[in-house]
Structure 1
């Protein structure tokens, strides 16, 4: 009985009231980080006009947040383990506030991009501390509630982030325009920072952990060398430097893998995980789907505003059926469909997404400036429902054969590569759209030209999701954990 009570006790004992208050503070930080990844899309056309930004600039504003967020997330987790999770969370909060202020005051697109990169780094410091602190604040029997709350915050901010962005732009508070979507973070961060000092407990890892700085450097250089030419190379006609940089990314990433294989203590990536078919298959499905959908979301948002003349709020509301359907069918697939159909739910979801996006292409072929948002409702709802059915289960399937001892590393790697796939999807799909757009008939109306470019561009995310559909066969038939792993 004593041993059981000890196992059920949290590492950092708090009163229920303070624990709940601390959770709220942590979830505010998580919500702001996720929100700033989704709220920007509806503001991109306005930013483009205001700061004379090019297509590659818009891609960098999106990828420039997701990429450092991804690459620094494991580093942020290690820093919290070493220096204290509350301290690192607080530092990330202060940095997020400062970079939001710089974003809001930026006088050029270059300054805005640099601030977005720093914002992504700040988010990478904050987010890992949320789950780690929940682990030490809550006993095992009560963690489920806190984890469910964090999942709900993630879902709500993802779905309603663009709507909030569109609403703020429509209100045009104090004639600030798009700048308000960044400046609104500042007072929230200040209050949350004060609350962090008062309510969130400090905690560290019980064993010594070393930070793999060489691994961080190699991964960062490799991913930047891969993504930078993909974003700007096509726009500049693929100059020699862009090709050389792209080729250079291969040995850099190979060196990163070699370094991880030789590092026996605290590697950034546990390479043995890739020997598990279910993990690698789930990773491929997740990256292709998230990459394709993220790139599609970017270009479709720009199409609605620049091509059809929607304002930011109308564009956000038009896309809401995708997010709402994804949320509803994610819950439905986890609770009802997966226990009966297993991995077939993922395959069905991918197929439904392909049908929805194909139908969307058909609608855009005939849309013009007078087309209302309702004509997009059914295709978007289909696409979102399919994504909800597919992606919601991928993590469970990927972790099916992973031993409990490696579950944390595997989950962290999945989250990191999810953000990497978002950045890559924005780079690839966005680059294709902006290359095709100038190639359309200059005498054609804006809606027709943008629709033609979008219809051709959507073939890339469709192909990515189709490959993901084929990769579903690598997943286990059902996601139920093995008894020996769960024991």
Structure 2
């Protein structure tokens, strides 16, 4: 086993953090971007949504490209593209250029991120994977919560007079260092039997996901017109055609983009179901951010600082998950979902009890619990879901897991956002008390989704991590990251 695997993982996690950060960091800078570039409201929405949509659409294909052309090669291409797109975003002369650069950023991230999960799956011994996935889970959560904080800091600091542009340009030196480190430390790996590309499968899955994810990302902003529901309905036959096509390719010995046999694996199907429901509950970030900023007048920096206790919970939970997963397996997922639900219920009590006098310290205990629960679930769930995936399909499975996480988050924001804005109407007024009421009801839905993850987690195999069973992949020594 290559001794460079842990240093290589550290470098890859830096790149992953850049991706996760860019999903949320732009939000607090949108008003400055609009003033500086003269962007319309629609263009401003696409600055944020274009990245998320491109990322979600390309994940499955990005994972398969690693199986075909090599995980190291595709990771390096992804991080190089991400760094270049970050520079173009920071240098954007107008809203059109910025939207296009953000879409390229998202696509490059979708090529990069699946290679990280695949590198862990095929390059680390089974006993080491919980720790490695735990570190990824910690980066996943910290990247999301630190985005508004760093975005506020960088925008207000106005480094070198760059203003909002610094949130993108800061990626350039970090990306160059991560690219150099990955080139030196990673070792190449690909599927043992090199699969062929599946152009029709790529088109079908991209159209199916576009029809599903685009309305979820943009529906609330557009007022949920009828075509958004028609598009989501159209995603069903498109994804069904994709499934039939993939099955046919598998039967004739061709290389499917996502092998249907993956869905006969209990860890995979149960893990994806839990991921979809649990990550939908994380829409409480969206609701809580709106409540603090629009309802109570918190600035971007103050809001980011309020979420710092969540980061503490994530760090503690990630460390605990790495030690507990080998002994307790799926029980860690169940416990994490319970803790997450308890944290969200605590937020409801804080919001309702403090009213318009709500301060960050009122939310701190609940945010610690929520961070702890999220870390326990995310680290363990990825480990279990990928535990029985053959090495030849590790890339496409990794892309599938990431796509499900993105879909769950989009569903959560759409559902909780619709409930929040549905309760916050002009007739009810826009006073802090009304924001508190809308937030409490939306957070209750989030708590219910987290709680629903508990019985669903019992579908996960109890002993998926106990040893290398017949279906478990053996570590590929030459494939260390």
TM-score, normalised by the number of residues in structure 2 = 0.81
Q: With CA pairs under 8 Å and 6+ residues apart, which has the higher RCO, 1 or 2? A: 2
Contact 1:88/1:125 (8 A) holds in 2: yes
1:306 and 2:291 are equivalent in the alignment: no
Displacement of 1:424 in angstroms is: 3.3
Answer with 421-430 or 405-414: which moved more.
405-414
Deviations 1:167-188 (A, max 9, x none): 2233232444333211211333
Answer with 105-114 or 210-219: which moved more.
105-114
Stretches of structure 2 that go unaligned for 5 or more consecutive residues are 475-481
Give the match for residue 264 of structure 2.
275
Q: Which residue among 218, 222, 238 is the counterpart of 2:208?
A: 222
Give the match for residue 239 of structure 1.
225
Displacement of 1:350 in angstroms is: 1.8
Following the alignment from structure 2 to structure 1, what is the Cα–Cα distance between the partners of residues 274 and 14? 30
1:346 and 2:333 are equivalent in the alignment: yes
Give the match for residue 168 of structure 1.
154
Give the match for residue 188 of structure 1.
174
How does 1:423-462 map onto structure 2 within 5 Å?
A: 423-439=410-426, 441-442=428-429, 444-445=430-431, 447-462=432-447
Contact 1:37/1:66 (8 A) holds in 2: yes
Corresponding residue pairs, total? 467
Displacement of 1:373 in angstroms is: 0.8
How does 1:68-107 map onto structure 2 within 5 Å?
A: 68-83=54-69, 85=71, 87-106=73-92
Cα 1:130–1:476 change in 2 (3 A) is closer
Following the alignment from structure 1 to structure 2, what is the Cα–Cα distance between the partners of residues 172 and 386? 35
Q: Which residue among 3, 27, 37 is the counterpart of 2:23?
A: 37
Cα 1:403–1:223 change in 2 (3 A) is closer
Q: Which residue among 162, 165, 172 is the counterpart of 1:179?
A: 165
Displacement of 1:356 in angstroms is: 1.8
Deviations 1:90-146 (A, max 9, x none): 43333223322343345666654443222110112223444667899x796998799
1:386 and 2:380 are equivalent in the alignment: no
Displacement of 1:347 in angstroms is: 2.6
Displacement of 1:378 in angstroms is: 1.4
Following the alignment from structure 1 to structure 2, what is the Cα–Cα distance between the partners of residues 98 and 407? 28
Displacement of 1:53 in angstroms is: 6.7
TM-score, normalised by the number of residues in structure 1 = 0.80
Displacement of 1:408 in angstroms is: 5.8
Cα 1:63–1:458 change in 2 (3 A) is farther
Displacement of 1:80 in angstroms is: 4.0
Displacement of 1:371 in angstroms is: 3.2
Following the alignment from structure 2 to structure 1, what is the Cα–Cα distance between the partners of residues 423 and 41? 14
CA RMSD for the aligned pairs? 3.9
Displacement of 1:375 in angstroms is: 0.8
1:261 and 2:251 are equivalent in the alignment: no
Displacement of 1:86 in angstroms is: 5.0
Give the match for residue 449 of structure 2.
464
Contact 2:121/2:394 (8 A) holds in 1: no
1:317 and 2:305 are equivalent in the alignment: yes
Answer with 79-88 or 369-378: which moved more.
79-88
Give the match for residue 360 of structure 1.
347
Following the alignment from structure 1 to structure 2, what is the Cα–Cα distance between the partners of residues 282 and 307? 36
Stretches of structure 1 that go unaligned for 5 or more consecutive residues are 1-7, 11-15
Q: Which residue among 179, 182, 198 is the counterpart of 1:212?
A: 198
Answer with 114-123 or 81-90: which moved more.
81-90
Q: Which residue among 122, 135, 152 is the counterpart of 2:108?
A: 122
